[in-house]
């Protein structure tokens, strides 16, 4: 009882400390005994609201107790109650008497160990009179409570007057969200050391995805990876696409390439968090005993690449000084490390050979470790690390099913922030409307394949009341409008006088283009402020200093961030490149510089063509086409057609003529470039005569990714393709009208097909021989030519059509076997497997006996006596009974199975 009372006091003290961090007010945080909770409570106008807030605080305190109590009961059950109570109260005193004066305590990447040390420095000696075991308990409870303090502070909406209203409107969801976060943290035990603290630091910092637009007070909000992560598909050199998680299991060395916005960094975060929490899916169970190291190369764009000791620079910088000597090398040598190196393309082209040598040295020094490297395709060819034993993967855009899942999760995240049912219904209406637009508007479907752009579409669709842009350039432009002007205006948040959207765009573009020109991914904060100051000298209308303007852009634009203290970069490189391209054309007229760097500034060049005047655009593309024989520049010219709003006929014809020399495409990367040209590419691809399987796959991919209806008859040319090309044709099905695609392209498809359910389009597959259905349901559209049908979900047998050629049928989880008469429409059925839900006591034996072609019957049930004698008496029928929950195959020496058990 004494311990429980003490724990409640500790929980309250921890929540009060969390409130100080939440307020982020240096003065209040530094005052010993100051109550941020009381200060917040005073902001509420009514006594009822104050009481509701007090109940929230009590609930948070109880959540802390719920986590701490098992530690005491499990690890310290033998410690006398008075010593346990004394240790708990000592932790409470430490929280209450510590002044939070360390600036780092308000950093986004604060960790429990750093907060623990700060509290001990400010309130030392509270464990001095404790016995040895009680001191151990004190240290354990303090460190664990520090972790809960951080999670509670982070789980609350960013403090503001509006946030207080949001807090009470969404109290249940906020409380449940914080409880869920605390529940995801593994329980600390007394033997936990640096490994545990580091794992927690990784999980806390990287377990999020920034879903653009999902917030009331920021341009993006962090959501747990478990909520927002979408499993991506990737291609390997053998042409077999698969989910990334499956491919990770194939090799300890992976080189993953992907275009901007495809989710490379998010994938590495997912691997790091799963490793930190040891909860990989079964396919990656062997990765559970790993320690993750996330190394973003953009942090080393202008400095020496890191040695293993510096692998904690990005995650764990606050606790690095407590790292045991040789700790990183120990895990690398022991095969427990998974090193996640992000963004080879973030390094200047002149440093990429250095990066390859650095990677080679590391992998040779630590051959047992796991390595995952990412890059954009333009920075490195698939075989860039092939000689070092890396498996190369190319990330693919999300499939239509993935897009639907992403869109659903985005809107679910929005609904979780709604204060009432009416607001939730409004969000659901946006969800359904966007799904309809994605189904009917080809250009939107193509944009939505990229997670970043899909999130942008979701945010803009809501913000603009369902009005969406028609192309990528417009998408970025309206996104900037929303970020730089509309959100603050609608919330009546003032900008510094004279600093409007035009000025913000110019300043950000100037900074972005400086980063591109200097091959930098970030810049020192002081230097950025100086840079802005120089540009502000020509903006007399802006009545604010460079530092004030910088802080406004950092906090309000949603485009800049300070992930590392003292350095600033763009939230996503896509925005940096868009703004840089705008500045290059509209501010500097840098046509010659763009042409000089066309090979390494691929995306900036494509976007610059969209920003350019007609004269500039002609100069850019004329310059590209003049470099004849350079395949990469010819492809770049083709890619620019996506963003070029106008182009003279002569120049367009020259680009087409040169692109014709590139047909057929030789890789999936080239295929994507062709697809980006849209209808223009169809004329080129119509004349493609691929000579190898790889070229055929790339040609099919290029046609498919246009998602134009006119591509369907061109794809039909490959209807008889085999192997990888055939799989590519099947993968393209969801990109088009399923009915027309099935009728024109897949009608003669003969090999096995795996589907979730039987949709009407399947009826056109007259050549199909083997069909596997995972969800079951309505079977009326099973093609009549099918010879083998496997249905593993609940089945409506009454919907089975006439299947004159069916030889084998397996029905798992069938609900009703009292009427098997629909099977009479399969007169050639020889092999039937039934795995019914529940008891088969009412088995339709009469129908089974009437099926003259039936030669083998397998049935799974608890008792073989329900089968009845007539079935066994039929000499030509082999009856096999499988006991429920026994997956062992029947004895081949006893073809009638367990007949003798009757």
pLDDT at 395: 92
pLDDT at 896: 33
Which residue's entry shows tokens 């993935």? 402
419 closest CA partner among 157, 173, 160: 173
pLDDT at 887: 42
pLDDT band (50, 70, 90) for residue 105: low
Burial of 716 (0-12, 13-18, 19+ CB in 10 A): middle
Higher pLDDT, 494 or 96: 96
pLDDT at 103 over 60: yes
Q: How far apart are CA 858 and CA 897, in angstroms?
A: 9
How far is the CA of 88 from the CAs of 65, 77, 134, 153, 381, in angstroms?
11, 14, 9, 22, 58
pLDDT band (50, 70, 90) for residue 84: very high
DSSP label at residue 769: -
pLDDT at 821 over 70: yes
Q: What percent of the chain has pLDDT over 90?
A: 44
Q: How far apart are CA 670 and CA 871, in angstroms?
A: 61
pLDDT at 108 over 50: yes
Q: How far apart are CA 207 and CA 769, in angstroms?
A: 45
pLDDT at 150: 85
pLDDT band (50, 70, 90) for residue 358: very high
pLDDT at 182 over 90: no
Q: How far apart are CA 25 and CA 31, in angstroms?
A: 10
Mean pLDDT of 547-575: 85
In this predicted model, what pLDDT tens digit does every residue of 633-657 receive, in sequence order? Answer: 999 999 999 899 999 999 999 998 9
In this predicted model, what pLDDT tens digit does every residue of 284-297 receive, in sequence order? Answer: 999 998 999 999 99
pLDDT at 212: 54
In contact, 705 and 685? CB cutoff 8 Å: no
Higher pLDDT, 155 or 342: 342
pLDDT at 532 over 60: yes
Q: How far apart are CA 85 and CA 94, in angstroms?
A: 14
Reduce the DSSP state of residue 252 to 3 states and report it: coil
pLDDT at 159: 66
What string of DSSP letters covers 464-505?
TTT---SSHHHHHHHHHHIIIIIHHHHTT-PPSTT--HHHHH
216 closest CA partner among 162, 169, 174: 162
In this predicted model, what pLDDT tens digit does every residue of 220-241 receive, in sequence order? Answer: 345 667 656 788 899 887 767 8
Q: What angle do CA 251, 255, 256 make, to 5 degrees?
A: 110
Mean pLDDT of 740-764: 91
Tokens representing 459 are 């945010």
Q: Tell how many helices (H) and how many strands (E) occur in the chain.
A: 38, 20
pLDDT band (50, 70, 90) for residue 593: very high
Reduce the DSSP state of residue 654 to 3 states and report it: helix
Q: What angle do CA 219, 220, 225 make, to 5 degrees?
A: 175
pLDDT at 838: 65
pLDDT at 3 over 60: yes
Task: Go through 48-71 and write b for each residue having 16 or more CB atoms within 10 A of its CB, e for each that does not.
Answer: ebbeebeebbebbbbbbbebbeeb
Higher pLDDT, 837 or 78: 78
* DSSP strands (E only) in 310-422: 337-342, 370-375, 391-395
pLDDT at 874 over 70: yes
All residues at 6 or more sequence positions from 717 whose CB lies less than 8 Å from its CB, including other chains: none
How far is the CA of 745 from the CAs of 23, 224, 767, 774, 874, in angstroms?
61, 41, 11, 23, 45
Q: How far apart are CA 388 and CA 377, in angstroms?
A: 18
Q: Which of 130-134, 416-420, 472-476 has the highest mean pLDDT?
A: 130-134
Sort strands 233-236 and 242-243 into parallel, antiparallel or unpaired: antiparallel
- The neighbouring-strand residues paired with 771 are 753, 789
Length of the chain: 902
- Report the side by side order of strands in the sheet with 337-342: 242-243, 233-236, 391-395, 253-257, 370-375, 337-342, 291-296
pLDDT at 892: 35
Q: What angle do CA 764, 769, 773 make, to 5 degrees?
A: 80
Higher pLDDT, 880 or 167: 880
In this predicted model, what pLDDT tens digit does every residue of 784-817 receive, in sequence order? Answer: 999 999 998 888 888 999 999 999 999 988 877 8
Which residue's entry shows tokens 């209040």? 28
Task: Report the 10 Å Cβ neighbour count for 502.
Answer: 12
Q: What percent of the chain has pLDDT over 70?
A: 88
Residue 617 φ/ψ, nearest 5 degrees = -60, -40
Which residue's entry shows tokens 């669709």? 461
pLDDT band (50, 70, 90) for residue 218: very low
236 closest CA partner among 396, 463, 45, 370: 396
Q: In the predicted model, what is the mean pLDDT of the chain?
A: 85
pLDDT at 577: 94
In this predicted model, what pLDDT tens digit does every residue of 373-389 receive, in sequence order? Answer: 999 888 898 999 999 99
Task: Report the 10 Å Cβ neighbour count for 415.
Answer: 17
Mean pLDDT of 116-130: 88
Q: How far apart are CA 876 and CA 852, in angstroms?
A: 10
pLDDT at 40: 77
In contact, 620 and 591? CB cutoff 8 Å: yes
Q: How far apart are CA 580 and CA 607, in angstroms?
A: 9
pLDDT at 900 over 60: no
pLDDT band (50, 70, 90) for residue 893: very low
pLDDT band (50, 70, 90) for residue 890: very low
pLDDT at 448 over 80: yes
In contact, 263 and 406? CB cutoff 8 Å: no
How far is the CA of 553 from the CAs of 210, 478, 612, in angstroms?
18, 17, 26
pLDDT at 841: 67
Round to the nearest angstrom and report the end-to-end CA distance of the chain.
62
In contact, 170 and 417? CB cutoff 8 Å: yes
pTM for the whole thing? 0.72
């Amino acid at each position: 009882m004494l311990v429980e009372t003490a724990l409640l006091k500790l929980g309250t003290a921890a929540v009060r400390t969390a409130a100080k961090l939440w307020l982020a007010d240096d003065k209040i945080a530094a005052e010993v005994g100051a109550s941020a909770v009381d200060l917040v409570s005073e902001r509420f106008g009514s006594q009822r609201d104050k009481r509701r807030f007090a109940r929230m605080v009590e609930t948070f305190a109880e959540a802390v107790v719920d986590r701490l109590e098992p530690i005491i009961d499990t690890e310290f059950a033998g410690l006398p109650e008075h010593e346990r109570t004394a240790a708990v109260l000592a932790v409470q005193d430490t929280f209450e008497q510590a002044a939070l004066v360390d600036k780092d305590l308000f950093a986004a990447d604060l960790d429990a160990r750093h907060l623990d040390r700060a509290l001990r420095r400010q309130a030392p000696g509270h464990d001095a009179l404790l016995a040895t075991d009680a001191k151990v308990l004190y240290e354990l409870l303090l460190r664990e409570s520090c972790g809960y303090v951080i999670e509670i502070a982070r789980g609350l909406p960013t403090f503001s007057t509006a946030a207080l209203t949001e807090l009470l409107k969404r109290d249940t969801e906020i409380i449940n969200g914080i409880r869920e976060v605390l529940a995801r943290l593994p329980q600390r035990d007394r033997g936990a050391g640096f490994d545990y603290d580091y794992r927690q630091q990784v999980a806390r910092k990287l377990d999020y995805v920034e879903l653009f637009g999902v917030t009331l007070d920021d341009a993006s909000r962090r959501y747990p990876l478990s909520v927002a992560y979408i499993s991506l598909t990737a291609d390997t050199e053998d042409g077999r696409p698969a989910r990334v998680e499956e491919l990770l299991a194939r090799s300890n060395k992976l080189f993953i390439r992907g275009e901007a916005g495809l989710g490379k960094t998010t994938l590495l975060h997912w691997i790091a968090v799963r490793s930190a929490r040891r909860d990989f899916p079964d396919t990656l169970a062997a990765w559970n005993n790993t320690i993750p190291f996330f190394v973003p190369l953009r942090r080393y764009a202008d400095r020496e690449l890191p040695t293993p000791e510096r692998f904690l620079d990005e995650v764990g910088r606050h606790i690095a000084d407590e790292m045991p000597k040789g700790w990183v090398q120990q895990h690398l040598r022991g095969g427990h490390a998974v090193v996640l190196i992000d963004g080879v393309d973030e390094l200047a082209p002149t440093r990429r050979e250095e990066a390859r040598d650095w990677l080679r040295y590391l992998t040779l020094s630590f051959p047992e470790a796991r390595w995952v490297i990412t890059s954009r395709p333009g920075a490195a060819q698939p075989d860039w690390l092939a000689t070092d034993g890396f498996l190369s993967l190319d990330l693919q855009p999300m499939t239509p099913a993935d897009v639907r899942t992403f869109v659903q999760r985005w809107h679910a995240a929005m609904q979780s922030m709604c204060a009432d049912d009416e607001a939730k219904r409004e969000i659901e209406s946006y969800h359904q409307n966007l799904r309809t637009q994605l189904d009917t508007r080809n250009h939107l479907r193509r944009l939505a394949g990229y997670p970043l752009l899909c999130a942008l579409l979701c945010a803009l669709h809501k913000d603009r009341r369902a009005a969406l842009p028609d192309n990528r350039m417009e998408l970025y432009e309206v996104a900037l409008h929303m970020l730089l002007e509309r959100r603050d205006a609608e919330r009546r948040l003032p900008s510094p006088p004279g600093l409007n959207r035009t000025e913000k765009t110019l300043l950000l573009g100037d900074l972005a283009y400086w980063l591109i020109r200097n091959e930098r991914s970030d810049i020192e904060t002081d230097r950025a402020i100086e840079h802005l100051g120089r540009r502000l000298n020509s903006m007399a209308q802006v009545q604010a200093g460079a530092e004030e303007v910088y802080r406004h852009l950092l906090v309000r634009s949603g485009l800049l961030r300070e992930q590392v203290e003292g350095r600033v970069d763009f939230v996503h490189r896509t925005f940096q490149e868009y703004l840089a391209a705008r500045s290059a054309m509209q501010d500097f007229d840098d046509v010659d510089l763009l042409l000089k760097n066309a090979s390494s500034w691929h995306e900036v060049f494509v976007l610059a063509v969209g920003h350019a005047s007609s004269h500039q655009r002609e100069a850019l593309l004329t310059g590209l086409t003049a470099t004849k024989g350079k395949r990469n520049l010819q492809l770049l010219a083709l890619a620019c057609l996506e963003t070029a709003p106008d182009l003279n006929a002569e120049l367009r014809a020259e680009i087409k003529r040169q692109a014709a020399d590139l047909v057929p495409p030789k890789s999936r990367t080239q295929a994507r470039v062709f697809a980006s040209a849209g209808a223009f590419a169809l004329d080129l691809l119509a004349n493609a005569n691929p000579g190898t399987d790889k070229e055929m796959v790339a040609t099919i991919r290029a046609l498919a990714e246009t998602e134009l209806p006119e591509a369907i008859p061109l794809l039909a040319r490959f209807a008889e393709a085999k192997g990888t090309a055939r799989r590519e044709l099947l993968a393209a099905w969801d990109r088009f009208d399923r009915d027309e695609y099935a009728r024109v392209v897949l009608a003669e498809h003969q090999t096995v097909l795996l589907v979730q359910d039987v949709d009407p389009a399947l009826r056109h597959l007259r050549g199909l021989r083997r069909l596997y259905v995972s969800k079951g349901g309505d079977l009326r559209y099973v093609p009549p030519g099918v010879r083998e049908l496997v249905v593993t979900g609940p089945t409506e047998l009454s919907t089975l059509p006439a299947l004159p050629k069916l030889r084998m049928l397996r029905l798992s989880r069938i609900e009703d076997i009292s009427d098997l008469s629909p099977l009479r429409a399969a007169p050639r059925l020889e092999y039937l497997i039934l795995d019914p839900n529940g008891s088969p006591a009412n088995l339709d034996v009469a129908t089974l006996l009437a099926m003259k072609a039936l030669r083998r019957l397998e049935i799974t049930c608890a008792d073989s006596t329900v089968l009845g004698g007539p079935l066994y008496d039929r000499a030509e029928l082999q009856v096999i009974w499988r006991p429920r929950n026994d997956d062992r195959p029947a004895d081949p020496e006893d073809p009638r199975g367990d007949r003798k058990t009757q």
